[in-house]
Each structure stands twice: as C-alpha cells, then as structure tokens.
Amino acid sequence: MDETIATQVRQIAADLFQVPLDKVTPASSPETLEAWDSVGHLNLVLALESQLGISLAPEDIEKMKTIADVIALVQERSK
Amino acid sequence: MAEGPIPDSNALRQQVDEAFACADYARAHALLTQLWQLRPDASTAAYLVGRFEKLRGHIALAPCRLAILRSFTVEPAIGLLRAMAFAAGIDLEVHLGDFNTYFQEMLDAASTLYAFRPDVVILAVQACDIVPDLWTGFADLDAAGVQAAKDRTAATYRQIIETFRSRCPAHIILHSLQIPSAPALGVLDATAEHGQSAAFRQINDELAHLARAHKNVYLFDYDRLIARRGEAAWSDPRKWLTARLPIAAGELVHLARAWMRFLHPITGKVCKALVVDLDNTLWGGVIGEDGLEGIKLDEAYPGAAFQAVQRTMLDLYRRGIILAICSKNNPAEALEAIAQHRGMLLRPEHFAAVRINWNDKATNLREIAGELNIGIDSLAFMDDNPVERTWVREQLPEVTVLELPADPMGFAPALRDSPVFERLAISEEDRERGRMYAEQRQRAELQATAGSLEDFYRSLQMSVEIALVTPATLARTAQLTQKTNQFNLTTKRYTEQQIAELSAAPGGRVYNVRVADRFGDNGLVGVVITRQVNEDCEVDTFLLSCRVIGRTVETAILAIVAQEAAKAGAKTLGGWFVPSKKNAPAKDFYRQHALTSTREKDGATWWQLPLPAAALVCPAWIDLRMSPGETK
C-alpha cells in the first residue's frame, strides 16, 4: 500500500467529515462516520478528483464502501 | 528581494491551533485566510468552515442569509462558498431549495424560502432544465415554436421575480442561460436568423432587461463563466447523468468565486481605494536606477504587462475606486515619471493621495486613509514585493493585500480577479469621485503655499449657486440628508418622498447648493430646508458635504437663506442645533454667525436672529448666485 496516498485519502476524509485524522481508519465507512451520507459521498469523490488529479467513473463510485476501498481505488486510478 | 519561506498548509494549520489555544482570534482569522489562499480546495474549505464556526462571536463577521434555488446539484460548491465567505468576513447561512422547485418556492407565500427570510437569493437554473425544448428539441421547432418557447421562458422569470419582489426585498442573482456549444444547425447556427444560440442570447437579453427593471436584481453571466473556463473542462457529463452535477470537480471553486463577486458588494465587503507601489508594479524596473528612459512601460513585451495594470486601474477609477500611491522612492524622480513618461496611462490627476518617501508602508497607508477620510479597512494594497505585502498584512490586517504572481503578466488579471472592487450600481457621483479627490489634493497643496487664509479663499475662485429643489435633484437631495454626518445641524434623514412633501408644504423651501472652484465642479453638495410660519422662519435642515466645509461656503448660504426669508416677510430666522456623534464641526456655526441661543431641549439648542440681518453677508471672495427657479 502506498502510504502517501493512504494518508492523503484519510486527511481528505477527515477534513470533509470533520473528524480528527486518527478517527479515519481503513475500516471507516458510512456506518462509522456520521457525516459520510450521500452528499458527503459526492463531496468525497469530488475532493479526491480535484485534489489528487484523478477521474472516477460511476462504477468506481459505487464500489467505495470503506476507506480501504477508496485508498485501493485511488491507487489504481493514480497509476 | 528574496521571498520568505512559504509555510505549508500543515504548518499553517498547526499555527491556527496555537492561535486558538491562546485565544488570539484575530490571528486565527488571518491564518485561516492565508491557508485558503495557499490551498483553495474542498478539504481546506471543510477545515476552514469548522474553525470559523468556533470563531463566531470572537471576530466581526457580517451575517448573510443566502437562499439558492436551483435545477442542478450545487451542494459540493456550498462548502467552498462558505469558506470563501468566512475568509472575507461574511458569515453565510445557506438555504437550498429542492431540485426544480424554484417556481413553487417563489410563488407560494408559505414556502420554506419565505420562512427562511433570505437577504440574497441565487436562481441557479440551467438552460436544459428550464427550456428543454429549445435545448434538445430545437430541430423539431419552427420559427413560431422557437418564439413561443422564448416568450414562455421570459414570462416565467418575470412572474417569479415580480411575485418575489412584491413580498421580499432580498437581492436576486439570476444565472444567465448557457448557450449551446454544439447547436442543432451546426456551423449554420451562427448565421441563421432563428438559430439556437440566438434564441438563448435573446432570453439572456430579456433577463438583463428584467434585472434593470427591478431594484436589487442582477444578472450573473453564467454562460460567460463557462466560456472563460472552457466548456470541455467545465462539464462532467457522467456526473450530470449520475448525480445531476453538470460541473467538473475542479471547476466548482470557480462557481463559488463568481457568486462571491456579488456577495462582496451586497454585504459591503468592498474597498474604496486602491493603493499601489510604483517600481515593478506600475512600471517595469526601478526609476531610481534605470531612469526615465530605462523603465519598461509601452505596448511591447514586457512593458505591456504594466500598461495592462494601468488600464485595469483606469477601469476601476471610472467605477469610482480612489487611486493612491505608496512607494519607496525619491519623490522628484517618481513624480517626473508619472507626469512625463510616454507610456503612462495614469497621470498625477488620477491619484487622490501620494506617499513617495522612505517611511514604512504601514505608516504611509494609515496616513493615506486619514487623508482620504476613509477607514483603513477600505484600502486595498498592491505591491510586487512579497516582503512589503507580508509587512502590511502583519501591521494592518484590515487592509486587503492583493496576492500577486511572480510574473508581471499576471498582475492585471490578479487585480481584475479581486472581488473587492465589484459594484452593483455606479452613480454619476461614483464616476466623478476620482477627479474630485484629486482636485481636493490640489486644493490642499495650494492651501499649503498660500499665505493668509483669505488669500487662499480668494485663490480658490469659488462660485456658489443656490436653487430650489427640482424633480431632477430630489434623489441627490434625499441622499445628502441620509449620508451627511459632519456638517449637519439637525441630522434629519429624509426620503425622496419626504423631500417632495417638505418642498410642497405651505411656507416650505428646500434649497440645493452647488459649489465650483478653479479646480472643478463639486456638484450638488449642500441642502437647506426652511419652513416659514407667519413671521418666523425655521431652519429644519442645514447640511454641507465635508468636501466643501471650512471654506466659508456655509456663511454665503446662511446669508442668502436669511435674505430669502426676509423677502418672504419673516421677522426672525431660527434653528436647532442637535448634537450627534459626528457633527461637532457644525457645533459653533450659529454662534459664529451672530445668532443667539434662547432655549435648550433634550441636549439640543435653539438659535435665532432678527431679520433683516444686515451683518450677515456673503464673503467677498465667493461669487454667489440665487437661481430664480419656480416661485411659490
């Protein structure tokens, strides 16, 4: 796992969902982070795209169930 | 000069936490603003909003209630917008309408829109949502069908705005409709008489017309924003189809910025004056080293970058923004360049205040604000030197310091991009303001060289024209009663309607005073309102703009008012002096003109004198004219 990307993703999620960085773990999901609702999900996708310079397809977006999924996806798309 | 180390965003965040820890909220505000300039993205925005929520109550923020009625997803832009607003000192509360419910929300008096009591409404409606038949079905329409679609759309907007306006005075920002970039007729569309692009342009013209016809309604040229950013970069068709979001992730910040350009002037977060450096800001090079022939300022590269800055400043000047200079230089050399250099588009007469010396810039900026009689928070500062910018930011956090790129080709765009010079209306007075301030500076210079005060008055060659108010001057007359604070004996505020009534009342007179001198025309700068009952004439209002006070104009006016009252049969002239927080300059006015105080009431003093008053005459150095006007 690329630690830089993992940290960047966790930091973006922490900012957007307004929680401290250490509260965002690979296991974090809409069930554990209160602000991760449907609008939060869209905001997360857009922040990843604009801040990490990647493009996510609708199929990708559906697969983002946990932070671990998001990190794996961003790594895939950053290649 | 070398740039200081650029702090990264993590370091800034740490400093923000430290500022919070020691309750230094002003510093926290400044750091958060700096952080936003460094990294204007969604996660910084979320961080900023979280921190600013905690600053509320500790720093001055202008509250603003914004309703956004929309036909597409704007949620991801809201965080960016609120962060920008906070950084600008605006505490934005946002109400979002549901998709495509703008029509019902505006028409239904019981809707959540009205319950929200907005200060500002943004109508973010897309072309493809409000006129789908013109957007995707254009090829199926004949000329009559196109006309019907245009008329129906214009009528919808008219109905929405008129209904809303009848219930709520909030500002309304209308999005213009996007013009299709791949029209149904292909290349022929641009030429065709009833083309698709033309149809949308005509609807947009109707929207502009509608905005002009209603107070506080403005057209935001959304189509031009897309064109500026490039439609290919702006659009994200997949997000549109899956999330009703037509705008690409990286472009949302530009939509929020465009909205801010309206919110700045609406909430008064604007600057009245732009103070500029000279070397490498107004021209390329250093005048003290390169000399008049050596500085770069012409139509060719690289001098063109500086002419572009000057051209942009001229636009601001004509918009009513005051220009001033703050430069470390030898004044003689720098002033020679401004007056003589062939490439200069700005000349000495464009500058209302000039500080060319070796003092530190914060001190000079404070002096400039004092000389122009405006607050330090009304100043914007532009300097190519990052060290000077940092110094001013630290010493005077109230000043808006423009961030400039290293390349001078980017200076003019940076100046144009600043939202603090936006205005939503430009009056005749705004257009004349720069000239008037520059003339004021020349007067002050003359006073410094003239010997006695009387010589100075004489050298001004003042002429004062007094006339009764007319329908054409009602608005300016009312405005003066509302805005004049210093030389104002009673500080009564009147609307146009009230001025008209005072003028029409039996025995009532409303005088307008115009003052001109050798430096130019100051325009309508004074108002006197009198009411005569039998043989007593009462001065209800006596005010003079601070531009002309202290030049004996007030003596001339009082003399003619007394004369006119005597002519109408009055035996006494009297008036109240009502002290306010700001009208100390007018306190001794009646005493100095031989009126006597006879009674007091609630802190106010009544002054009067018998008529005719032979001792009350117009000073010899003023050319005074009473225009006949309409007789009553």
| Mutation target vs B (from A15, A33, A38, A77; most B CBs, 10 A cutoff) | A15
pLDDT at B7: 62
* Residue A15 distance to chain B (closest CA, Å): 5
Longest dimension (CA), chain A: 31
* Residues above pLDDT 70, as percent of chain B: 97
Q: What is the distance between the alpha carbons of residues B520 and B506, in angstroms, rounded to a whole number?
A: 36
Cα–Cα distance, B372 to B367 (Å, whole number): 9
Chosen for mutation from B43, B78, B80, B98 (greatest number of chain A CBs closer than 10 Å) is B43
Distances (CA, A) of B105 to B77, B78, B126, B279, B577: 21, 20, 17, 55, 50
> What is the extent of the structural domain holding A54?
3-78
Which helix (H) or strand (E) segment holds residue B467: the answer is: strand B462-468
Measure in Å the smallest separation between the Cα of A12 and chain B Cα atoms.
6
Q: Which residue of A has its CA nearest to B47?
A: A15
Domains and CATH numbers, chain B: 8-60 (no CATH), 61-266 (3.40.50.1110), 273-429 (3.40.50.1000), 460-626 (3.40.630.30)
Question: How high does pLDDT run on average in chain B?
Answer: 92
Please report, for the domain that includes residue A43, its CATH number. Answer: 1.10.1200.10
The reply to whether B246 touches chain A by the CB within 8 Å rule is no
B620 close to A (CB below 8 A) = no
pLDDT-based confidence at residue B427 (cuts at 50, 70, 90): confident
Q: Do B75 and A18 touch (CB under 8 A)?
A: no
Alpha helices in A1-79 (DSSP H): 3-16, 38-52, 58-63, 67-78
Say how far apart CA B581 and CA B429 lie, in whole Å: 26
CA–CA separation, B29 and B53 (whole Å): 11
A39 touches chain B (CB under 8 A): yes
Please tell me the distance from the alpha carbon of residue B478 to that of residue B489, in angstroms, as a whole number.
16
Q: Which of B43, B75, B243 sits opposite A11 (nearest CB)?
A: B43
Give the pair of three-digit tokens for residue B154: 């214009």
Distance separating alpha carbons of residues B61 and B85, to the nearest angstrom: 9
Which of B563, B552, B560, B561 shows the shortest CA–CA distance to B487? B552
Average pLDDT (B543-572) is: 89
Q: What are phi and psi of B89, to 5 degrees?
A: 90, 20
Give the pLDDT score at B466.
94
Residue range B372-411, pLDDT digits in tens: 989 999 999 999 998 899 899 989 989 999 999 999 999 9
For residues B31 and B86, the answer to whether their CB atoms sit within 8 Å is no
**What pLDDT is stored for residue B631 in this prediction?**
43
Cβ–Cβ gap A47/B43 under 8 Å: yes
Does A21 contact B at CB distance below 8 Å?
no
**Structure tokens, B260:** 């801010």
B361-373: per-residue pLDDT in tens?
999 999 999 999 8
For residue B386, the one-letter residue type is P
- Report pLDDT for B334: 94
What residues of chain B lie within 8 A of the CB of A57, using their CB? 238
ipTM of the complex, rounded to two decimals: 0.92
pLDDT tens-place string over residues B234-254: 999 999 999 999 999 999 999
The 10 Å Cβ neighbour count of residue B437 is 21
Domain count, chain A: 1
The Cα of A18 is separated from the nearest Cα of chain B by a number of Å equal to 7
pLDDT-derived band at A1, boundaries 50, 70, 90: low
Are the beta carbons of B356 and B335 closer than 8 angstroms?
Answer: yes
Say if residues B261 and B219 touch (Cβ distance below 8 Å).
no
